[in-house]
């Protein structure tokens, strides 16, 4: 009798113990917890199985990689993504599906007047039209940049300049006479000739010169993550070259659509531009 009681008690305690561990082990965590339009979202799966079959955001599959030893996915939330609650699910390797929700909140967008520099025709309707047409062309040419199906990086992403001072933030609306343009990167203050560094390991996919983007370097970090460095004075890398985090990729300038020296830095996740400042914060 005593033995049987002991066994019963042991089984109950063990089951409770197992239940407790499982509940704590299998969960979905988000960074940032407060998510706004135009921001990147990191989804991490905390699971005792240590691997997952799939992660979905709003029903759409997300590519999976290991970060800090956890199955992880990155999602770029478009600036005009519908606000509201989205479901996130993960299918664990044992077939169980866990889920959670995250709300995409409305970004408060500021609008500020903007001009076209004299070198691009000044503030005339004509130069506005050529700006719109050529920007569309440039953006289209960036839609099909190759991206590796694995991550090239293993540690945090770091700022592209030694000294960071933000001139123009991501996402605000630039009001020209007849059009509004969303600023899809961050402008860092940088005098001409300041060293520009790769934000992480990756392969240089584009070294080019464009009417609006100016001298441009684009680095592929894998799984759809591309970093853009615009308005450079000079590029110091070649297409196809592997770069490590902190390597000099060029020097800042004011080439293209820029009326003063600065570095425009953009991050895209599978074609979606996200706030680079928030992106860097994900890995801190």
258-277 binders of Zn ion (CB under 5 A): 264
CB of 183 to Zn ion, least distance (A): 6
| Distance separating alpha carbons of residues 35 and 199, to the nearest angstrom | 23
- Region of 46-54, 181-189, 249-257, 267-275 interacting with Zn ion (CB under 5 A): 181-189
Does position 205 bind Zn ion by CB under 5 A? no
CB of 252 to Zn ion, least distance (A): 12
Distance of CA 214 to the CA centre of its chain: 22
- 122 contacts 214 by C-beta, under 8 angstroms: no
Three-state DSSP at 14 gives helix
CB of 38 to Zn ion, least distance (A): 14
| Distance separating alpha carbons of residues 226 and 266, to the nearest angstrom | 8
| Distance separating alpha carbons of residues 67 and 43, to the nearest angstrom | 10
CB of 213 to Zn ion, least distance (A): 10
- Region of 43-51, 106-114, 182-190, 206-214 interacting with Zn ion (CB under 5 A): 182-190
CB of 125 to Zn ion, least distance (A): 23
- 201 contacts 154 by C-beta, under 8 angstroms: yes
| Distance separating alpha carbons of residues 91 and 191, to the nearest angstrom | 49
CB of 29 to Zn ion, least distance (A): 32
| Distance separating alpha carbons of residues 241 and 220, to the nearest angstrom | 11
Three-state DSSP at 277 gives helix
Q: Out of 39, 187, 201, 254, which residue is the one contacting Zn ion (CB under 5 A)?
A: 187
> Which one, 138 or 156, has the nearer CB to Zn ion?
138
The count of residues interacting with Zn ion (CB under 5 A) is: 3
> Which one, 76 or 185, has the nearer CB to Zn ion?
185
> Which one, 201 or 254, has the nearer CB to Zn ion?
254
* Contact track, Zn ion, 216-255, x by CB under 5 A: ----------------------------------------
Sheet holding 111-113, edge to edge: 111-113, 173-175, 180-182
CB of 275 to Zn ion, least distance (A): 12
CB of 167 to Zn ion, least distance (A): 8
For the chain, the distance separating the N- and C-terminal CA atoms, rounded to the nearest angstrom, is 57
Residue showing the smallest CB distance to Zn ion in the complex = 264
> Which one, 198 or 273, has the nearer CB to Zn ion?
273
> Which one, 62 or 232, has the nearer CB to Zn ion?
232
- Kindly state the helix (H) or strand (E) to which residue 196 belongs, with its residue range: strand 195-197
| Distance separating alpha carbons of residues 99 and 90, to the nearest angstrom | 6
> Which one, 223 or 274, has the nearer CB to Zn ion?
274
- 101 contacts 27 by C-beta, under 8 angstroms: no
| Distance separating alpha carbons of residues 214 and 231, to the nearest angstrom | 5
> Which one, 26 or 123, has the nearer CB to Zn ion?
123
What does the binding site for Zn ion look like in residue numbers (CB under 5 A)? Answer: 185, 187, 264
């Amino acid at each position: 009798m005593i033995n049987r009681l002991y066994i019963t008690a042991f089984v109950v305690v063990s089951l409770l113990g197992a239940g407790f561990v499982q509940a704590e082990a299998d969960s979905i965590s988000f960074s940032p917890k407060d998510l706004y339009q135009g921001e990147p979202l990191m989804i991490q799966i905390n699971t005792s199985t240590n691997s997952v079959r799939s992660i979905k955001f709003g029903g759409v599959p997300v590519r999976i990689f290991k970060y800090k030893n956890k199955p992880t996915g990155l999602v770029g939330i478009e600036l005009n993504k519908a606000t509201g609650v989205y479901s996130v699910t993960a299918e664990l390797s044992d077939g169980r599906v866990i889920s959670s929700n995250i709300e995409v909140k409305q970004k408060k967008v500021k609008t500020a007047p903007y001009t076209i520099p004299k070198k691009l025709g000044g503030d005339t309707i004509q130069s506005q039209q050529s700006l719109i047409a050529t920007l569309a062309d440039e953006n289209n040419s960036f839609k099909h940049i190759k991206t590796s199906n694995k991550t090239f990086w293993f540690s945090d992403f770091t700022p592209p300049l030694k000294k960071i001072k933000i001139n123009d933030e991501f996402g605000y609306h630039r009001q020209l006479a007849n059009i509004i343009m969303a600023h899809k990167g961050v402008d860092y203050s940088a005098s001409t000739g300041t060293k520009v560094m790769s934000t992480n390991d990756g392969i240089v996919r584009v070294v080019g010169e464009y009417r609006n983007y100016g001298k441009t370097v684009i680095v592929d970090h894998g799984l759809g993550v591309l970093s853009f460095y615009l308005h450079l004075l000079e590029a110091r890398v070649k297409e196809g070259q592997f770069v490590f985090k902190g390597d000099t990729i060029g020097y800042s300038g004011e080439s293209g659509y820029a009326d003063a020296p600065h570095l425009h830095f953009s991050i895209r996740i599978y074609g979606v531009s996200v706030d680079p400042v928030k992106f860097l914060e994900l890995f801190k």
